[in-house]
Amino acid sequence: MNATRSPTGDRAERLAELSSIVERLVLVIKADYIPVWLRKPNVALDDDKPLDLIAAGSYRKVSRLIAALEGTPAS
């Protein structure tokens, strides 16, 4: 029987950040486009892919871009 493990540390943090990003994206773009958006180089992110930035711990850069899409001030 295989034991299941939950992510911990940095992996758990990245997963929580990704979840937050997806929850916000659903409000501003079509849900079926979110996987594409996350993997596509984005000029507003210096042609980095949002998913790569999140994985590298740069959640706030992606969050600021989404805030602009939401029309809310970034923190």
Mean pLDDT of 10-19: 92
- CA neighbours within 13 Å on the CB side: how many for 48? 14
More confident residue, 49 or 5: 49
Q: State the pTM of this model.
A: 0.82
What is the distance of C-alpha 70 from the center of its chain? Answer: 14
State whether residue 48 is helix, strand or coil: strand
Model confidence over 27-61: pLDDT tens digits?
999 999 999 999 999 999 999 999 999 999 999 99
Mean pLDDT of 13-39: 95
Under the banding of pLDDT at 50, 70 and 90, the label for residue 10 is confident
